[in-house]
Amino acid sequence: MRIRRRVRQDPGRDLSPAASAADIAAVRAAIVAARGAGDDVPIGAVVLSPDGTPLASARNAREELGDPTAHAEILALRAASEIYGDGWRLEGCTLAVTLEPCTMCAGALVMARVSKLVFGAWEPKTGAVGSLWDVVRDRRLSHRAEVVGGVLQAECAALLEDFFHGQRGNRTG
């Protein structure tokens, strides 16, 4: 007997509520941050205070800093934590990012007590908010964030597609 697995194009589409105007604006701000990534994969993140004021934005900087933890989400969370709350708790805040977070970034936003995550493109290879795992909404954890995924998905995916197309075009040999 064979069991067939059905793969969904948007893994968490049935888990995410509809995006609000504020969610769309937040992802647009993350897209702006991503565009400054240079040689790094163009992923951007923005942390917003509970009233919607931007606290910090960042872009991937792994290549630039030679740091495997320099993901846009981690850098934005660190910067926001310096100016908001008690130094590490970001309760009431929203994290907007252009790509579904990986396990490291999903774990960090849970540990920072971020209240809401809004992201653009789904990441079927490493996504930890519905694609491969769902760290952010795991009922075993003491904190779970609200999640809105797939916001401006086509625009966010285009950033990555253009970057990787350029990378393939620049290969020699």
Annotated catalytic residue within 63, 64, 73, 82: 73
Residue by residue, DSSP assigns 115-155 as SEEEEEE--TTT-TBTTS-BSTT-TTSS---EEE--TTHHH
Give the model's pLDDT for residue 85.
82
**73 is known as an active-site residue:** yes
Tokens of 47: 């942390």
Annotated binding site: which residue ranges?
A: 71, 102, 105
- Three-state secondary structure along 84-124? CCCCCCCCCCEEEEEECCCHHHHHHHHHCCCCEEEEEECCC
Where do the domains of the chain lie, and which CATH numbers do they carry?
Answer: 21-164 (3.40.140.10)
Annotated binding site for Zn(2+): which residue ranges?
A: 71, 102, 105
pLDDT by residue for the chain (173 residues), tens only, comes to 333 333 334 555 545 678 899 999 999 999 999 998 888 999 999 999 999 999 999 999 999 999 999 999 999 999 999 999 888 999 999 999 999 999 999 999 999 999 999 999 999 999 999 999 999 999 999 899 999 999 999 999 999 999 998 776 665 54
Tokens of 31: 């897209």
What's the gap between Cα 97 and its chain centre? 4
